[in-house]
Amino acid sequence: MQLTYLPVTDIVFSDYNLADVCKYMYFDIDDDDKIIMVANHCVLKLNYITIEIEKWYSVDYSLDTEFFMFNSKQDCFIVASKKDALLIDLKNKVEIDLDNEFSIQDFKSIIYD
């Protein structure tokens, strides 16, 4: 039996009720068949072979997500718009509102260092 892979570029996200899909996506370090992405104000895992979608984390804030960045262990990430940013530490179950914490009002990009 031959497996057919569906390139992510061929997926019409609206067919799966996904809106506000962030352009930054990451392969899941625990499962090569999954991509971690932000859509519908949630962090989702999309199995690009079966097209199964799993909600991984709900973001409480209504962000128009433009930026999404993980650390190397994928246990901490930043999700941000141009005006708001959240640092989410999954390991310690902590959310930090970066724009309020550091009085930042205009995000141009984010990086992991």
Give bridge partners of residue 35 from the DSSP assignment. 27, 46
Q: Is 0.75 surpassed by the pTM of this model?
A: yes
User: What sign does the dihedral 40-46-30-6 (CA atoms) show?
Assistant: negative
Q: Is residue 107 part of a domain?
A: no
d(CA 55, CA 110): 23
How many domains are contained in the chain? 1
Q: What are the structure tokens assigned to 32, written together?
A: 């090569």
Q: Is residue 74 part of a domain?
A: yes
pLDDT tens column, 43-85: 899 998 898 999 988 876 666 788 889 899 999 999 888 888 8
- Assess contact for 79 and 65: CB atoms under 8 A: yes
**Which domain does 73 fall in, by range?**
8-102
Q: Is residue 113 part of a domain?
A: no
